[in-house]
């Protein structure tokens, strides 16, 4: 990271319980998250220099529409779309603006209403040769899963264990969409989506919003007693490959996280917890490996050892992750950041990761022919 950049801190966080709110206009759905983050931050509305809004499918000017309901109109507003990484990208843009001294205070919000699309799989781009031949997002992950199980000799019930852990965590998270535990048998018996993936192995259709207020670290103590510091930020895009690729290695995540680890001088062994892009059960296992928690093929063993649940070495998705907390895609990046910030502040009660000092958020996504994924955005936070 450029040494002349200012250090940046999260001053306040806000989130609404994720669920299905098809009759609530998006700006009204997002408003409580923004107002909560502002209130927590101690920053006055008139001090906010800019708003960054991430959303993938909310239509034009989601930021302006949200600002209208939050008394924030007239300031600089930037709307970002980067598939599932939309609001993590918004956070990164805001971080850069504060870090380089262009502005002091920014509101970052992520908001999405998938229920308005009618449910089912996400709408994908019709110019894409794979989409026009029947590709859907669960299908892409299912093909990764089939290859992974085959190459490393695992079974479908090994995937189901990810969903069981996720629901255990989600049950402890007040803003999770799914708050009831489940069993391996229930996961495997749920209806088929794209085999080997069953319904309970897929993130749900849902709506949600999350927000943070950030500002320079040097001013944080004037506003808040518990700032959370941004230790690193990185955004990578997918590389186009037309030949063969190993679908069990999420190349964009491997590249993005390794560049970030090198830049900030930290590694996977330094992480107390992380929120990763567990859009499907297989994804969490692949991301254990890609983020460096274990070698390739060892994800299932890491899970079974309990290393990624409470009491383990690195707690993964303490919120329940996308599988249980929900995945209103454009909102998820900031929602992950809210969870990690609150964990580092020690505010997470039943699901608190004891002694958490350093946490990471990872969100990738965007299904496009020839790419592992379109975008990957990773942040590391500390207290």
Instruction: Name the token pair of 52.
Output: 């960054």
- Given the structure tokens 């379109």, which residue do they identify? 374
Q: Considering the complex, what minimum distance in angstroms separates the CB of residue 154 from other proteins?
A: 14
Of 153 and 311, which has the nearer Cβ to other proteins? 153
Of 124 and 363, which has the nearer Cβ to other proteins? 124
Q: Considering the complex, what minimum distance in angstroms separates the CB of residue 138 from other proteins?
A: 7
Q: Considering the complex, what minimum distance in angstroms separates the CB of residue 297 from other proteins?
A: 16
Cis peptide before 196 (omega within 30 of 0): yes
Of 5 and 189, which has the nearer Cβ to other proteins? 189
Instruction: Name the token pair of 140.
Output: 């892409």
Of 187 and 335, which has the nearer Cβ to other proteins? 187
Q: Considering the complex, what minimum distance in angstroms separates the CB of residue 150 from other proteins?
A: 5
Q: Which residues bind other proteins (CB under 8 A)?
A: 120-121, 123, 129-130, 132-136, 138-139, 142-144, 146-147, 150, 191-197, 240, 242-245, 247, 369-370
The CA-based angle 119-81-194, given to 5 degrees, is 35
Q: Considering the complex, what minimum distance in angstroms separates the CB of residue 148 from other proteins?
A: 9
Q: Considering the complex, what minimum distance in angstroms separates the CB of residue 190 from other proteins?
A: 11
Of 37 and 193, which has the nearer Cβ to other proteins? 193
Please give the backbone phi and psi of residue 55, each rounded to the nearest 5 degrees, phi first. -160, 140
CA distances from 195 to 83, 232, 321, 325 (A): 24, 37, 21, 23
Of 118 and 311, which has the nearer Cβ to other proteins? 118
Of 141 and 261, which has the nearer Cβ to other proteins? 141
Of 38 and 193, which has the nearer Cβ to other proteins? 193
Q: Considering the complex, what minimum distance in angstroms separates the CB of residue 132 from other proteins?
A: 4
Pick the catalytic residue from 70, 84, 202, 377: 84
Q: Considering the complex, what minimum distance in angstroms separates the CB of residue 160 from other proteins?
A: 17
Question: Taking a C-beta distance cutoff of 8 angstroms, is the pair 356, 271 a contact?
Answer: no
Question: Taking a C-beta distance cutoff of 8 angstroms, is the pair 258, 370 a contact?
Answer: no
- Given the structure tokens 């320079």, which residue do they identify? 216
Q: How far is Cα 56 from Cα 147, in angstroms, rounded to an integer?
A: 29
Q: Catalytic: 256?
A: no
Please give the backbone phi and psi of residue 352, each rounded to the nearest 5 degrees, phi first. -65, 130
- Active site amino acids: 84
């Amino acid at each position: 990271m450029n040494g002349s950049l200012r250090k940046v801190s999260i001053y306040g966080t806000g989130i609404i319980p994720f669920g299905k709110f098809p009759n609530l206009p998006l700006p009204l759905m997002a408003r409580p998250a923004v107002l909560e983050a502002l209130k927590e931050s101690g920053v006055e509305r008139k001090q906010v220099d800019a708003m960054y809004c991430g959303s993938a499918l909310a239509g034009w000017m989601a930021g302006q529409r949200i600002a209208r309901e939050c008394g924030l109109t007239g300031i600089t507003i930037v709307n970002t779309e980067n598939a599932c990484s939309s609001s993590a990208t918004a956070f990164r843009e805001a971080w850069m603006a504060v870090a380089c001294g262009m502005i002091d205070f920014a509101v970052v919000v992520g908001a999405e209403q998938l229920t308005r699309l009618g449910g089912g799989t996400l709408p994908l781009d019709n110019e894409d040769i794979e989409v026009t031949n029947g590709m859907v997002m669960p299908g892409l992950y299912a093909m990764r899963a089939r290859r992974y199980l085959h190459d490393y000799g695992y079974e479908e019930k090994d995937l189901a264990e990810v969903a069981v852990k996720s629901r255990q965590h989600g049950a402890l998270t007040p803003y999770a969409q799914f708050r009831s535990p489940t069993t391996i048998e229930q996961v495997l018996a749920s209806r088929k989506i794209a085999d080997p993936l069953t319904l309970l192995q897929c993130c749900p259709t849902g709506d949600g919003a999350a927000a943070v207020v950030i500002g320079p670290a040097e001013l944080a103590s004037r506003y808040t007693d518990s700032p959370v510091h941004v230790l690193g930020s990185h955004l990578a895009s997918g590389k186009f490959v037309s030949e063969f690729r190993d679908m069990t290695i999420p190349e964009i995540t491997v590249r993005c996280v390794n560049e970030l680890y090198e830049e900030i001088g930290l590694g996977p062994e330094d992480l107390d917890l992380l929120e990763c892009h567990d859009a499907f059960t297989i994804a969490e296992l692949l991301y254990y490996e890609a983020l460096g928690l274990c070698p390739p093929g060892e994800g299932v063993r890491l899970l079974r050892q309990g290393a990624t649940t409470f009491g383990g070495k690195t707690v993964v998705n303490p919120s329940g992750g996308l599988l249980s907390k929900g995945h209103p895609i454009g909102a998820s990046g900031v929602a992950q950041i809210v969870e990690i910030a609150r964990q580092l502040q020690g505010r997470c009660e039943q699901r608190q990761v004891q002694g958490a000092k350093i946490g990471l958020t990872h969100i990738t996504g965007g299904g496009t022919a020839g790419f592992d994924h379109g975008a990957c955005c990773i942040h590391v936070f500390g207290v």
